[in-house]
Amino acid sequence: MSTELKAVEVSRKTKETTISLSLQVRGEQKIDINTGIGFLDHMIEQLASHARWDLSINVDGDLHIDDHHSVEDIAICLGDALQQSWRNLQSMKRYGQRLLPMDEALILCAVDLSGRGIYVGELEFTREMLGEASTEMFEHFFNTLAMSAAMTMHIEPLHFRNNHHLAEGCFKALAYALKEALSPSQGDNTTKGML
């Protein structure tokens, strides 16, 4: 594990959620995710595992209402930790991409750790729920994550039939794109002088 980067700790407390999060983007896959939403736990575990992060998230949210506040605030915290992490790296490639097959699903993801929070994507799920997770919240998660992490993120599903595969393919494709973007670079990653 790299010694140039310490784990980033983020906490957030609102009327709707209480969140504590720890992220090490050059980690050893030490993962402990407790959001209160089983399917979201599974997706974030896939993200952290395939990106090779150490990630701990504990959430106490108002799930008796719905999953909106928890999903949104988790994305805010994870994005904040991710931005702190990439800005503290001595060297990174900045750009990352992945064309990822998940059985019949095929997902294209590209990221730029640019300092500009932009999400482009259109996830057209054919089910309203996956477990206890509202499928409409996945696009909101990615949009909020991109804004909070100050990164450009494109996610384009090229094909799918199974909604679980669509969701999981998106998280795994993002993991590999971020893994590439965060990996050490051999030279400058910007012509502007700073990001």
3-class DSSP state of 120 = strand
pLDDT at 5: 76
- Tens digit of pLDDT for each residue in 45-93? 999 999 999 999 999 999 999 999 999 999 999 999 999 999 999 999 9
Which domains, ranges and CATH numbers included, belong to the chain? Answer: 8-182 (3.30.230.40)
Distances (CA, A) of 81 to 16, 87, 105, 113, 176: 20, 10, 29, 13, 18
| pLDDT over 80 at 108, yes or no | yes
Distinct helix (H) and strand (E) counts, the chain? 4, 10
